[in-house]
Structure 1
Amino acid sequence: MFVRLVKMSFHEEHIDEFLSHFNANKECIRHFKGCQFLELYRDKTHSHIFFTYSYWDTEADLETYRHSELFKEVWSKTKPLFNAKPEAWSVDKVASLE
């Protein structure tokens, strides 16, 4: 499994637009080939900061998504809303407790 974390910071006036756009596309992203899990988090202290957390079968699946028409459409509408450069991490799950 391949885990991806992305931190995004938005201009306050664009948060509702981002959320609307995310909600309109989240099912397509989640059901993209290789995506097993997708969540969106919002920072409790800095409400303009969001994180996506996703599981992919392989790194190649994530790269296929990142070169897809879906990603290009989502990113083209999301990128202008940022107030800082997004940050992304690919991580290995070390432990998981339920």
Structure 2
Amino acid sequence: MLVRIVRMTFQEDKLADFHAIFDNSKYLIRAFPGNRHLQLLSDPDRPDVRMTYSLWDSADALDDYRQSELFRSTWAATKVLFAERAIAFSGENLETVTQIDMA
């Protein structure tokens, strides 16, 4: 399983535009072959920052998405709204720890 996190800083007056883009594409991204999860996060200390957290079957599945028309069109519409360059990184899941009820 590959975890992908993308941190994006937006022009403050462009956040609504980004949310519209995300709302229009999130179901298509979640349905893309190899995608297992897509989540949108906000930075509690920076109202202009959003992050996507996604899970992919493999690096190849993520690469297939990144080569798709869906990604190209969504990213082209999104990146013009940035105040800073996006930061993206991937990692392979080595361990998952969940809270268990000890009662």
- Class of the TM-score when normalised by the shorter of the 2 chains: over 0.9
**C-alpha separation in 2, matches of 1:96 and 1:60:** 26
Query: How many Å apart are 1:44 and its aligned residue?
Result: 1.1
The residue number in structure 2 matching 1:96 is: 97
Which residue of structure 2 aligns with residue 20 of structure 1?
A: 20
The residue number in structure 1 matching 2:45 is 45
Please name the residue that 1:80 is paired with.
80
Matches of 2:37 and 2:79 in 1, distance apart?
22
Instruction: Supply the AA of the counterpart residue of 1:33.
Output: P
Unaligned runs of 5+ in 1: none
Q: What SS is found at the alignment partner of 2:80?
A: helix
Amino acid at match of 1:44: P
User: What does 1:32-71 align with in structure 2 at a 5 Å threshold?
Assistant: 32-71=32-71
Describe the superposition over 1:17-44 as per-residue Cα deviations: whole angstroms up to 9, x where unpaired.
0001101110000110000000000111
Aligned length: 98
* Higher Rg of the two aligned structures: 2
Q: Cα RMSD over matched residues?
A: 0.9
Letter in 2 for 1:53: Y
1:11 and 2:19 correspond = no
Query: TM-score w.r.t. structure 2 length?
Result: 0.91
User: Separation in 2 of the partners of 1:32 and 1:79?
Assistant: 21
How far, CA to CA, are the matches of 2:33 and 2:97 in structure 1? Answer: 24
Deviation of 1:56 after TM superposition, in Å, equals: 0.3
